[in-house]
Amino acid sequence: MTNNTVYLNGHYLPLSDAKISVMDRGFLFGDGIYEVIPSYFGRFFHFEAHMERLDNSLAAIRLANPNSHKKWLKILSPLLIGTQDQYVYLQITRGTAPKRDHGFPENTVPTVFAMGSPIVPMAERDTGVKVLTMPDSRWKLCNTKAITLLANILHRQEAIDQNCAEALLVKDGYVTEGAASNVFAVIDGVLMTPPKSAEILPGITRDVILDLAREHGIPCKEESFSLTALQTASEIWITSSTREIIPVVECDEQKVGDGKPGPIWHKMNQLFQTYKQSLA
């Protein structure tokens, strides 16, 4: 296997040779889901939690899981190269249909694609990033990891156009999550993140952070908080499987805290890195 090897419908082949039909429903409709699974020291990180989220996403779009968790591990493991930090992107669509029709086609075989890529740490991870808040214009099934990501892409690009790393989304006055991340805020000394609902993606890294906080006595809770409350936060973080925990030092052109990564972030980042090492 090489970094250029991908998996497509039962075969490992060079990326340049991987082809799908233009009639694939993922191409025509965005009719599919995906999962991103990080790996550290040659081992997948919380593999079963990622598989459970995969199960939930597939169930949400009424598509049967084509493989057991054990079979997925066997399929995806060869895409890992050595012990470098990397991730596997897995995508499953409803497959190729004989015609373009919004209704589910009968007797189609899902299209399964997977590839591995290195995890490249953000250059600003230790210094912090800028973010921008904006109204959340996405659909109502944000807890489903669907490949229909146009709204997320537009939100992220709007932030990039204004020299920000991420868009923090706000619905009915309350913060939901980032365009491609979960969000944490330290408000009145308590680490907070919005509760799981159809309005946010249930991040695996998010769950690990909460577990570590509880284990190490960091006050925390899953609770909705308003944009107004966010503006009083002493620390803000964005989290994801490939970015891990990124401190936010500026939000809507206003400093967060003293404009530097805060003490709770430093402690949590150290706990997270130590936890990763322990799994090796």
**Distances in Å between the alpha carbon of 253 and those of 50, 118, 156, 246?**
35, 32, 16, 17
Instruction: Return the structure tokens found at 72.
Output: 């997925």
Instruction: Return the structure tokens found at 217.
Output: 């006595």
Strand partners, 89: 36, 115
Residue ranges of the chain whose pLDDT lies below 70: 1-3
> Phi and psi at residue 79, in whole multiples of 5°?
-80, -10
Rounded-to-integer distance, Cα 269 and Cα 280, Å = 17
According to CATH, the topology of domain 5-118 is D-amino Acid Aminotransferase; Chain A, domain 1 (3.30.470)
* 129-279 maps to CATH 3.90.78.10: no
pLDDT tens by residue, 236-260: 999 999 999 999 999 999 999 999 9
Instruction: Return the structure tokens found at 159.
Output: 């932030």
pLDDT at 1: 54
Strand partners, 190: 187
pLDDT at 2: 57
Rounded-to-integer distance, Cα 45 and Cα 275, Å = 11
Q: Please state the domain extents for the chain.
A: 5-118, 129-279
Q: What positions carry a catalytic annotation?
A: 145
Q: How many CB atoms neighbour CB 104 within 10 A?
A: 13
The answer to whether 89 touches 70, Cβ cutoff 8 Å, is no
DSSP code of 89?
A: E
pLDDT at 140: 86
